[in-house]
């Protein structure tokens, strides 16, 4: 499709029905839910019910891999089980935590968030607007925490999801999904009204295990029947052209 075609411009504005029809969206959603049930990855924060500790996990998961966070999360949430305890430790405590993930520069952000949450009673706010008012909490973290831990429907959109949807549709890949309306619209269309938590876990696991940045496992992919990349009709997000999400 030419870059300036009317169809492309509509899609860039967020119209996505021509990329995946309502029935294709429903099929993909069903296939991913089924795949996710069988392939659910057990990480310690996925069964965490405490609001602060689950929020802390989602904060730590930004810009790093789940396998790196697993060990750090268990230790940190034991040492600092509340926002108050982490706030008392101050920058020294958060620097120690973030250094272990190679993300020193995020330590002041975590110290500031812990102090704010501690001051307001120990629980993070449960609205996207208030969460994103914290410096260091973006679209991904707020959607992940609200949908996976607080029972509020939201679509998780990160670089992995943008890459997967680019492959599915043949649209160009942009690793910063905040700038791409069609990615947000399509992700929202796919997210079920009720089973959004299970769906979001399935998408996170699927984009980590099957539709990986390099060498996607198309032969065993549950949604290959709806994928433009599989049909060979796109050069979007081909392996070897990507930086890690
Ligand atoms: S068929 Fe391949 S490229 Fe398409 S969604 Fe599945 S793993 Fe990704």
Domain ranges of the chain: 6-41+155-231, 44-149
Q: Which of 45-49, 163-167, 225-229, 239-243 has the lowest mean pLDDT?
A: 239-243
**For residues 205 and 33, what is the distance between their CA atoms, to the nearest angstrom?**
11
**Ligand 1 proximity of 173 Cβ (cutoff 6 Å):** no
Q: Give me the pLDDT at residue 240, please.
A: 40
SS3 of residue 157 by DSSP: coil
More confident site: 62 or 115: 115
Q: Which residue reads 């929020």 in tokens? A: 55
Q: Which atom of ligand 1 is nearest to the CA of 237?
A: 3
Residues 6+ apart with CB under 8 A from 171: 11, 19, 165, 182, 234, 236
Report the alpha-carbon distance of residue 55 to residue 141 in Å, rounded: 8
Would you say the CB of residue 211 lies under 6 angstroms from ligand 1?
Answer: yes
Side-chain-side CA neighbours of residue 68 (13 Å)? 14
pLDDT of residue 129: 96
Q: Which of 29, 31, 36, 164 to mutate to test the pocket of ligand 1 (most atoms within 8 A of CB)?
A: 164
CATH tag for 6-41+155-231 (out of 1.10.1670.10, 3.40.50.11890, 3.30.9.10, 3.30.300.30): 1.10.1670.10
- The answer to whether residue 5 scores a pLDDT higher than 80 is no
Separation CA 29–CA 231 (nearest Å): 19
* pLDDT over 50 (residue 201): yes
> Mutate which of 227, 231, 239, 245 to test ligand 1's pocket (most atoms within 8 Å of Cβ)?
227
From 42, 90, 82, select the one nearest 66 (Cα to Cα): 42
Q: Exposed (0-12), middle (13-18) or buried (19+): which is 111, by Cβ within 10 Å?
A: buried
Give CA–CA dist 14/147, Å, rounded: 22
Q: Is 217 in the pocket of ligand 1 (CB under 6 A)?
A: yes
Return the pLDDT at 12.
Answer: 59
Q: What is the pLDDT of residue 71?
A: 86
CATH class assigned to 44-149: mainly alpha
Q: Is 224 in the pocket of ligand 1 (CB under 6 A)?
A: yes
7 Cα: distance to centroid of ligand 1 (angstroms): 23
pLDDT of residue 199: 98
Indicate whether residue 149 lines ligand 1 (CB < 6 A).
Answer: no
* Mean pLDDT of all residues belonging to the chain: 89
> pLDDT tens-digit profile of 99-114?
999 999 999 999 999 9
Q: What is the pLDDT, as a whole number, of residue 13? A: 57
How many Cα atoms within 13 Å fall on the side-chain side of residue 182?
Answer: 24
Cα-to-centroid distance, 205 and ligand 1 (Å):
13
Span from the CA of 163 to the centroid of ligand 1 (angstroms): 10
CA distances to 45, 63, 98, 186, 206 from 48, in Å: 5, 21, 20, 29, 21
* Mean pLDDT value of segment 207-225: 95
d(CA 66, CA 158): 14
On the question of pLDDT at 242 being above 80, the answer is no
């Amino acid at each position: 499709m030419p870059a300036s075609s009317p169809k492309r411009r509509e899609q860039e504005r967020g119209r996505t029905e021509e990329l995946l029809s309502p029935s294709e969206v429903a099929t993909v959603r069903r296939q991913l839910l089924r795949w996710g049930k069988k392939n659910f990855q057990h990480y310690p924060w996925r069964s965490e019910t405490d609001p602060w500790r689950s929020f802390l996990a989602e904060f730590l998961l930004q810009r790093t891999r789940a396998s790196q966070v697993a060990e750090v999360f268990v230790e940190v949430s034991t040492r600092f089980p509340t926002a108050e305890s982490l706030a008392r430790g101050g920058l020294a405590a958060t620097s120690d935590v973030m250094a272990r993930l190679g993300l020193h520069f995020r330590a002041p952000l975590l110290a500031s968030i812990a102090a704010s949450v501690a001051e307001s009673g120990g629980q993070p706010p449960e609205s996207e607007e208030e969460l994103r008012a914290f410096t260091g909490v973006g679209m991904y973290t707020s959607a992940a925490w609200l949908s996976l831990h607080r029972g509020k429907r939201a679509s998780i959109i990160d670089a992995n999801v943008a890459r997967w949807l680019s492959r599915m549709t043949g649209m160009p890949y942009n690793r910063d999904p905040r700038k791409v309306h069609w990615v947000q619209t399509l992700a929202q269309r796919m997210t079920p009204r009720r089973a959004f938590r299970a769906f979001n876990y399935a998408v996170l696991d699927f984009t980590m295990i099957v539709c990986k940045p390099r060498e996607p496992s198309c032969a065993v992919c549950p949604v290959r029947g709806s994928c433009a990349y599989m049909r060979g009709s796109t050069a979007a997000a081909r392996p070897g052209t990507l930086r890690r999400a």
